[in-house]
Structure 1
Amino acid sequence: MKYIIAIIGLLIVLGLALLASNNRREVKYKPIILMIIIQLILSAILLNTKFGLVLIKGIADVFNKLLEYAGEGVGFVFGGIANNGQAPFFLNVLLPIVFISVLIGIFQWLKILPLIMRGIGWVLSKVNGMGKLESYNGIASAMVGQSEVFITVKKQLGKLPANRLYTLCASAMSTVSMSIVGAYMTMLEPKYVVTALVLNLFGGFIISSIVNPYTVEPDEDILSVDEEEKQSFFEMLGEYIMDGFKVAIIVGAMLIGFVALMAAINNVFDLIFGITFQQILGYIFAPVAFIMGVPWADAVRAGGIMATKLVTNEFVAMIDLTKIDSSFSERTLGIISVFLVSFANFSSIGIIAGAVKGLSEKQGNTVARFGLKLLYGATLVSVLSAIIVSFVL
């Protein structure tokens, strides 16, 4: 039965993408089918094989060790601020982002990260039927972040047509930055975080290929990655330390605002209607959770968490999930966890449009115009990744 629901869900997601397509006749189905097969194989390897478990354990151990190192710095500055036995979210989850940001900066400065991004991007371009720029951007978004990625392609940004710009922005919204993966792993099981990272990369190309199909001519398939001005090692360290701290502060501020606002709205709805706002959203999103493979008994609660992620952000939804995860089956928990690992929410529209506008005002306005369609596509990517996982759990 789970396979029938998963196949129906897969067809619905592809159908919804086709419904919003700019040009249905241009859709190339061969690379789409190939990428779906690759997603199924990779999710089965990561979640159902000894090799996958060893690989994920290795990745999780690396991030755990990084979080330990980050804890040394956090403890030195903020040691004693919390009572014994307490684990403040800002200190334990957000501030380690600073250290991971520094590591990304070091690998960037050593030219290791650009080499990896170009290499994997070139391989992906042979699979997804898209250009080298789109493939590079998908990898770079996951490595350096949804805002910073546009800086690396700023020379080409102003010359891109709207259809290629959409694909670049869709990749940025569908993935997550490596700098905050460690934070996710403190709230979700690492195996689901790693699986989501891989699936979303291909999912972004699948949905974009349907919603926004086009052909890149050979003379247009040029990748021109901007190299940052060579900084001294310690200049680079200072910059990435401050960037990581800004991310931690911004996420913390957004959490304070969104969690408080959600609590207030829930209370008002409960007083007036006898049901919370999240419960209402849960009923609306329950059918989506069901086609993702969530049992109907869990669908309303799962739908509420999914909706929370869409209207606020993934951190708020993950916090809500940790409160009730013990009441979910392992299958439900895995499906919802994979859905949550992406930047697909309303606030990301402003973040991406602002990042592009800072480099090209004209292109920033273009992104703002197709912002809702961007969110629509990125949400379908999250649903698609969750459905793929439902096949193997």
Structure 2
Amino acid sequence: MKYILFLAAIVIIFLLAYIVSNNKKRIKVKPLVTMLVLQLVFAFLLLNTEVGFVIITAVSTLFDHLLSYAAEGINFVFGGMANEGAGPFFLNVLLPIVFISVLIGIAQHIRILPIIIRYLGIVLSKVNGLGKLESYNAVASAVFGQSEVFISVKKQLPYIPQHRLYTLCTSAMSTVSASILGAYMTMIDPKYVITALVLNLFGGFMIANVINPYEVSAEEDIIDIQEGEKQTFFEVLGEYIMDGFKVAIIVGAMLIGFVALISMINHIFEAIFGISFQMVLGYIFAPLAFIVGIPQVDMVEAGTIMATKLLSNEFVAMMDLAKISDSLSSRTVGIISVFLVSFANFSSIGIITGAVKGLNEAKGNQVAKFGLKLLYGATLVSLLTAAITSIML
């Protein structure tokens, strides 16, 4: 049954992308088939083989160590603020982002990251049917995040046509930044974080290939990366420490606002209709949950989590998932977990638009015009990742 449902999910997801395609006649089938096969292979390796177990264990152990090192600095500054055994979300989940950000800054400064990102992007461009710039941007988004990545292509931004800009933004919204991976791993199983990270990379290319197909000439396909002003090692440390802290503060502030707002709306709905707003959304999203392989008994609860992520952000949804995970099947938890690992939500439209507008106002206005279509595509990427995962569980 799950194989039939998987095939149905693939057909429906691509049909939903096809319906809004800019140029249906230019859709290239070969790259789609190639990347779908690659997604299945990587999902199988990561979730069902000894090799995948070793990889995930190694990455998970690495982040465990990094988070323990981060805890040393956090305890030095904030030690004694929490009760013994307590685990404040801001201290244990968000503040470690500062340390991970520092490590990314160091890898960037010593020229390791630029080499990896550039050449991995070139390799990906051979299979995805898109340009080198799009491939570079997708990998860079997974390292730097959805707003910071556009700084690296600042010089090219004024000359990027709207159709290519859509693909760049889709990659940025479909992935997550490396600095936040450790935070996710404290909330959901690390194997689902890593699996989603890999599958979303290909999924972004696939959905963009359907919604926004185009050809890139060799003359257009030049990666001209903005290096920025040369900084000393300690200037880099200071900059990335502050960047990491800003991310932690912004995520914390958004959580305060969204959790409080959802609580208020739920209270109003329960007082008037006798049912929470999130539960109403759960029924609306239940068909999507069922399509990607969620068992029927869990599909309303799963739909609620999916809707919460779309309307607020992945952190709020992950916290809600943690509250009810014991009442859900392991299959449901796995599928929903990979769905949550992306930046596909309404607030990301503003984040990406603001980031691009800060670098080039005209291009920022273009992003604002296709903002809803951008979210639509990124959400289809998350659904595709969830469907691929479902066949392996």
Does the pair score TM above 0.5?
Answer: yes
Name the amino acid aligned to 2:181: V
Partner of 2:63: 63
- Distance (whole Å) between structure 1 residues aligned to residue 221 and residue 234 of structure 2: 36
**1:292, CA displacement in angstroms?**
0.5
**1:329, CA displacement in angstroms?**
1.1
- Distance (whole Å) between structure 2 residues aligned to residue 163 and residue 213 of structure 1: 8
**1:330, CA displacement in angstroms?**
1.2
Partner of 1:244: 244
- Distance (whole Å) between structure 1 residues aligned to residue 385 and residue 182 of structure 2: 20
**1:85, CA displacement in angstroms?**
1.3
- Distance (whole Å) between structure 1 residues aligned to residue 30 and residue 85 of structure 2: 54
Aligned positions of 1:226-375 closer than 5 A:
226-375=226-375
- Distance (whole Å) between structure 2 residues aligned to residue 222 and residue 231 of structure 1: 25
**1:252, CA displacement in angstroms?**
0.3
Partner of 2:141: 141
**1:119, CA displacement in angstroms?**
1.1
Partner of 1:176: 176
**1:163, CA displacement in angstroms?**
0.2
Partner of 1:197: 197
| CA deviation profile, 1:284-321 (whole Å, cap 9, x unmatched) | 00000000100111000000000000000000000000
User: In percent, how many aligned pairs have the same letter?
Assistant: 67
- Distance (whole Å) between structure 2 residues aligned to residue 106 and residue 285 of structure 1: 42
- Distance (whole Å) between structure 2 residues aligned to residue 256 and residue 357 of structure 1: 26
Partner of 1:2: 2
The number of residues matched between the two structures is 393
- Distance (whole Å) between structure 1 residues aligned to residue 195 and residue 98 of structure 2: 24
- What is the SS of the residue equivalent to 1:351? helix
Question: Moved runs in structure 1, 4+ residues, more than 4 A?
Answer: none
- Distance (whole Å) between structure 1 residues aligned to residue 296 and residue 155 of structure 2: 49
Q: Unaligned regions of 5+ residues in structure 2, if any?
A: none
Partner of 1:130: 130
| CA deviation profile, 1:197-247 (whole Å, cap 9, x unmatched) | 000000000000000000001111111111121101111111100000000
| CA deviation profile, 1:101-138 (whole Å, cap 9, x unmatched) | 00000000001000000011010000101100000000
Given the alignment of the two structures, is residue 97 of structure 1 paired with residue 106 of structure 2, yes or no? no
| CA deviation profile, 1:132-174 (whole Å, cap 9, x unmatched) | 0000000000011111100000111110110000000000000
Name the amino acid aligned to 2:244: G
Give TM-score, length-normalised by structure 1: 1.00
Given the alignment of the two structures, is residue 152 of structure 1 paired with residue 143 of structure 2, yes or no? no
- Distance (whole Å) between structure 2 residues aligned to residue 276 and residue 145 of structure 1: 33
Partner of 1:37: 37
- Distance (whole Å) between structure 2 residues aligned to residue 102 and residue 302 of structure 1: 35
- Distance (whole Å) between structure 1 residues aligned to residue 377 and residue 266 of structure 2: 28
Name the amino acid aligned to 2:306: M
- Distance (whole Å) between structure 1 residues aligned to residue 365 and residue 211 of structure 2: 20
**1:279, CA displacement in angstroms?**
0.3
After superposition, the CA RMSD in angstroms is: 0.5
- Distance (whole Å) between structure 1 residues aligned to residue 330 and residue 154 of structure 2: 43
Give TM-score, length-normalised by structure 2: 1.00
| CA deviation profile, 1:298-356 (whole Å, cap 9, x unmatched) | 00000000000000000000000000111111111110000000000000000000000
- Distance (whole Å) between structure 2 residues aligned to residue 313 and residue 218 of structure 1: 38
Q: Unaligned regions of 5+ residues in structure 1, if any?
A: none
Aligned positions of 1:44-59 closer than 5 A:
44-59=44-59
- Distance (whole Å) between structure 2 residues aligned to residue 357 and residue 61 of structure 1: 39
- Distance (whole Å) between structure 2 residues aligned to residue 330 and residue 235 of structure 1: 46
Name the amino acid aligned to 1:293: G
- What is the SS of the residue equivalent to 1:224? coil
Name the amino acid aligned to 2:23: N
